[in-house]
Chain A
Amino acid sequence: MSIRLFSPVVLFLLLVFLIGPFLIIIAASLSAGDTLAFPPQGLSLRWVMKVFTIESFRDSFAMSMFLAVFGTLAALVLGIPAAYALSRYRLPAAETVRTIVSLPIIVPGIIVGLALLRYLVVPFGFNITLTLFFAHAALVLPYAVRVVSASLDNLRSDIEEAAVLLGSSRLGAFFRVVMPNIRGGILAAFILGFVTSFNQVPVSLFLSGPGVRTLPIDMLGYMETTYDPSIAALSALLAFLSIGIVFLAERFLGFSRYV
């Protein structure tokens, strides 16, 4: 096959495979029929509307939002100083620290969830919501450290040394000189962390209790019992949410520079 024909064919098939299923979900969610089907039987927004009336979805959505926002913030509060120490100081055992904070990305989430359930929740009666919060913060920590490190490495370190020489305190130099310069990186880390935490399943799999469920786990449970288009509608809504966030970030931040 000639190269000129090869490329468009490959790209077309690729998009059908990668994006097609997502378009099909959107179409299925607009169906007026009672069961999941494609092509949709008539057009209506009834299933999209229904999603908002299901109470357990509202609760688990709020839980996922809470975990994604505060888990990521916690990861940043821990991760920014660590990234700063790794990039600006001669840190004893720097490699060990780097490995420890980036391990949560390599170890499968289901193992972390199970371990926390077994050694924190069960023996000590530790609060499940708090455990979930810790687990999500740990999950996002590697991204926070990596993205912030990358923007610190791109920033010349002599500007804060200059500030310190001119009489600023170390802390003052960080907040007045370094912070404004790595703001974009921090925001990118937040968005990446938010999306990762919000969509993540295995870590939270074992960590649910009465009234404590994240949205993806709730969706998985609902899917097992019900075969109507509401999950398609919810999936489509969530996809638009993620895409919207990333799109805005790309527009205003050039998000992809950091990831």
Chain B
Amino acid sequence: MFQNRAEALALALPAAVFATVVFLLPVAILLSEGFRAGGAWTLSAYTGFFSETLNRTVFLRSFRLAIEVTAVSAVIGYAAAFAIVNLPANGKGRMVGLVTLPLMISPVARTYAWIVILGRTGIVNQAITGLGFSADPLRLLFTETAVFIGLLQLFLPLMILSLISALENMPKDAIPAARVLGANWFQVFWKVVLPLTREGLVVGGTLVFTGSLTAYITPAVLGGSKVLMLETLMYQQVSVANDFVSASVIAFILIVMSFAANILLKRLATARSRR
């Protein structure tokens, strides 16, 4: 540990000043815009925003989808992480690599793949019409389901990776011990695995939840203007309606929800593990 304060500040300040000037300040000013009208501080932009049905629908949809994606990715994540952890060493490495792979691919490319699959002439529709389930292709794109699938594929790897490390940090004999003592698989999961991996679940859950909440590309491409989410609505407010006050309100909601999720889930993790 070096003690020289001036030296320490000289090293750290450029980065801190840079982040403050090109990031913190502009964002703070943008957020304050939603609280001001004609020079006075007011909440009118917020009451105005939530008085419109469309905005309420979009807000609830974003929140609901983020929760659904998080919940489903937790369920699939546990199943997948279990299967991967139990593989022999080299198979495990390969599977972790394959799960990590999508994270390196551009989200635009990953989202685009779903157009090829879910589009009017996509694979799913070809199968449906080909097998005679329906004469006309179904509208699969621009539905909430399409957005859900896209988001799930985008963020599932993050959940799996955090659950894998949580499962690996679990005492090796906890599960056999519980089995020997007569617990069934449901009890093993609920009473042994879940409490011991709670922190990994919380880390993965936070990443998936905030990721889904603040994703832009997937809702924009797979949902279009039919399935607006907060970010796509914000983009529209600015580029179509030139309404910066509403954009500021949405920005504030997004930031508050992300931070709240972070703090709440962190609390949850530490509170439970202290028991």
Q: Which residues of A contact B217 (CB under 8 A)?
A: 201-202, 216, 220
Given A21-B113, A90-B3, does the pair A100, B20 have CB atoms closer than 8 Å? Answer: yes
Q: Which residue of B lies closest to A235 (CB)?
A: B109
Interface residues on B, range: 35 or more
A128 at interface, CB cutoff 8 A: no
Per-residue 0/1 for A180-206: is the Cβ within 8 Å of any B Cβ (1 yes, 0 no)? 000000000000000100110110011
Q: Which residues of B contact A220 (CB under 8 A)?
A: 108, 217, 220-221
B88 to chain A, nearest CB (A): 11
Per-residue 0/1 for A99-116: is the Cβ within 8 Å of any B Cβ (1 yes, 0 no)? 011011011111110111
Q: Check A17 against B109 for contact (C-beta < 8 Å).
A: no
Q: Which residues of A contact B106 (CB under 8 A)?
A: 198-199, 216, 235, 238-239, 242
Q: Check B156 against A18 for contact (C-beta < 8 Å).
A: yes
A252 at interface, CB cutoff 8 A: no
Given A10-B80, A81-B12, A101-B16, does the pair A36, B109 have CB atoms closer than 8 Å? Answer: no
Chain A at the B interface: mostly helix, strand, loop or mixed? helix
What's the Cα separation between A17 and B216 when bound, in Å? 21
Q: Check A201 against B107 for contact (C-beta < 8 Å).
A: yes
Chain B at the A interface: mostly helix, strand, loop or mixed? helix
What's the Cα separation between A242 and B210 when bound, in Å? 24
Please report which residues of chain B, range 13-51, place their CB below 8 angstroms from some CB of chain A when the two chains form the complex: 14-16, 18-20, 22-27, 29-30
Per-residue 0/1 for A207-246: is the Cβ within 8 Å of any B Cβ (1 yes, 0 no)? 0000000001001100100000001100110110011001
What's the Cα separation between A107 and B90 when bound, in Å? 38
Give the residue of A89, A138, A232 whose beta carbon is less than 8 angstroms from that of B11. A89
Q: Which residues of A contact B255 (CB under 8 A)?
A: 107-108, 111
B58 at interface, CB cutoff 8 A: no
Q: Check B105 against A97 for contact (C-beta < 8 Å).
A: no
Q: Check B7 against A10 for contact (C-beta < 8 Å).
A: no
Q: Check A115 against B12 for contact (C-beta < 8 Å).
A: no
Please list the 4 inter-chain residue pairs (A to B) with the smallest Cβ-Cβ separation, ordered nearest first: A235-B109, A21-B113, A115-B26, A89-B8
B residues whose Cβ falls under 8 Å from a Cβ of A: 1-5, 7-9, 11-12, 14-16, 18-20, 22-27, 29-30, 76, 79-80, 82-84, 86-87, 95, 98-102, 104-110, 112-117, 119, 121-123, 153, 156-157, 160, 210, 214, 216-217, 220-221, 231, 234-235, 238-239, 244, 247, 251, 254-255, 258-259, 262
